[in-house]
Structure 1
Amino acid sequence: MLGEQQVRLIVLDDLQHIVDRSSDRILFDASEAIKEVLIDYPVSVLCAGLADSMRVIKSNEQLSRRYMATVHIKRFNWRSVRSRRSFVRVLGAFEHTLDSYDLPELQSEEVAYRFFIATGGIMDFVSKIFLFAATIAEARRSKVIGFEIFHEAWRRAFLHSECGDAPFANDFVIGENQEEQLKRALSINLPPPRQRLRKDKAKSRLQEIGL
Structure 2
Amino acid sequence: MAPPDELFPRTRTPLGPGAAHLPDWLTPQEQLRMVEACRRWARPPAGLRLVRTPGGGTMTARQFGLGWHWYPYGYARTAVDGDGAPVKPMPPWLAELGRRAAAEAGQATGEAYDIALVNFYDADARMGMHRDSDEKSGAPVVSLSLGDTGVFRFGTPESRARPYRDVELRSGDLVVFGGASRLAYHGVPRIVPDTAPPELGLTGRLNITLRVSGLADDG
Q: Do both proteins adopt the same fold according to a TM-score greater than 0.5, normalized to the shorter chain? A: no
Greater share of strand: 2
Greater share of helix: 1
In the superposition, the TM-score normalised over structure 2's length comes to 0.20
Greater relative contact order: 1 or 2 (C-alpha under 8 angstroms, separation 6 or more)? 2
Greater radius of gyration (CA): 1
